[in-house]
Amino acid sequence: MARILFIYSTVDGHTLEICERLRQIAEQAGHEAVLTELSARSVPELNDCDRVVIGASIRYGKHRPEVARFINDNVSALEAMPSAFFSVNAVARKPEKRAPDTNPYVKKFLRQITWQPPLIEIFGGKIEYPKYGFWDKTMIRFIMWMTNGPTDPESIVDFTDWEQVDAFGDRIAQT
């Protein structure tokens, strides 16, 4: 069985939740699965894995800069093994925005990196208004208002299609 490294970049923790679910699926299939965070201070090593999955969230229309930097710095290693990428964003709450060619953030991101992941998935994110500070809450509510999303400042809305996550996990485990 394979050693699968799940690398995640998250702002509020939802990408980590998705990675934890993917790890469970991989482990149930008999693989060793390891989670590691990618941040400005922490850069994962790819030497000790057989497969890699990179998951990144969107905030204000962009993935964090360290995600593209990590990918571009490690493109040879990523291309040399089975690999996958997933993005988590609120735009993907709409099913028609869950494909690499229809999600504006992923389309833009794929133009910024030299790696073209063989497996790409896009998941709806999660909005947790009570968790946000004043500025984030105000900006996210405004964006949601403009795009006909939820704006109740006390609401928590998970747009993630967990069956989609499970199906992606199955594909990773079978690669």
- In terms of domains, do 53 and 85 share one? yes
Rounded CA separation 74/51 (Å): 13
What confidence tier does 42 reach under pLDDT thresholds 50, 70, 90?
Answer: confident
Share of the chain above pLDDT 70, in %: 100
Mean of pLDDT values over 79-108: 94
Phi, psi of 153 (to 5 degrees): -65, -5
SS3 at position 117: coil
**Pair (167, 111) in one structural domain:** yes
Residue 13 Ramachandran class (φ > 0 left, ψ -120 to 50 alpha, else beta): left
**Do residues 167 and 109 share a domain?**
yes
Sequence-ordered list of residues with C-beta below 8 angstroms from that of 134, at least 6 positions apart, any chain? none
Q: What angle, rounded to 10 degrees, do the helices at 65-73 and 104-112 form?
A: 40
Q: Are residues 78 and 131 in the same domain?
A: no
Cα 24 vs. chain centroid, distance in angstroms? 16
Q: Give the model's pLDDT for residue 175.
A: 76
With 80 as the cut, is the pLDDT of residue 43 above it?
no
**The total number of structural domains that make up the chain:** 2
Same domain, yes or no: 77 and 15: yes
The reply to whether the predicted model has a pTM over 0.95 is no
**Residue 134 domain boundaries:** 126-159
User: pLDDT tens across 113-170, in order?
Assistant: 999 999 999 999 999 999 999 999 999 999 999 999 999 999 999 999 999 999 999 9
pLDDT number for residue 104: 94
| pLDDT of residue 78 exceeding 90 | yes
> Are 130 and 96 part of one and the same domain?
no
User: Is the domain of 132 the same as that of 70?
Assistant: no
Indicate whether 100 and 134 sit together in one domain.
no
Q: What is the CATH number of the domain that holds 31?
A: 3.40.50.360
Residue 5 CA, distance from chain mean position: 14
Q: Is residue 40 pLDDT above 80, yes or no?
A: no
Distance CA 30, CA 173 (A): 9
| Residue 61 pLDDT greater than 90, yes or no | no
- Is the domain of 133 the same as that of 167? no
Are 168 and 143 part of one and the same domain? Answer: no
